[in-house]
Amino acid sequence: MPSNRKAVVAALALAGSLLAVAPAQADTKPTSAPTGDGAKSICKRLPKTQEHVAAALTRLNGDATVRGSVARLEQRVANAKSAGHTEIQTLLNDRLTHRKSLLPTLQTRQNDLKAVATWCATQAGAPAQGK
């Protein structure tokens, strides 16, 4: 009986929280179209964005001991194949295909960010950008 009571209380709490959120969402008004390109914000966030992209590339290009690397996932695919786990091999192979597709995208983004850093540095009053 106590477990049923807990389930009922949890369901009521969830329903109450959903009802409490609904009016707040109904009051939101559509925003207007952007009036600029957000260059100031982009320049401000640029160093952090460059760090994130560089870290992702370092991780993906790491060896088999680095979690999240292409090499580690390739090793896991090989291990699944040698163990005869066909379904696991298929799943991991699909993940490997996706992970490999991230490399050119991130490399392009890294080059784009270098060009943006150069542009940001030429703007009046802009702080010097590293990297």
Predicted model pTM: 0.67
pLDDT in tens, 17-50: 555 555 555 567 778 887 888 899 999 999 999 9
Give residue 14's pLDDT.
60
The residues, ordered by sequence, that sit 6+ positions from 34 with a Cβ below 8 Å of its Cβ are none
Distance between CA atoms of residues 82 and 87, nearest Å: 13
H helical segments located in 2-85: 2-26, 39-60, 70-83
What are the two backbone dihedrals, phi and then psi, of residue 93, each rounded to the nearest 5 degrees? -65, -40
CA dist., res. 110 & res. 113, Å (int): 5
* DSSP 8-state class, residue 62: S
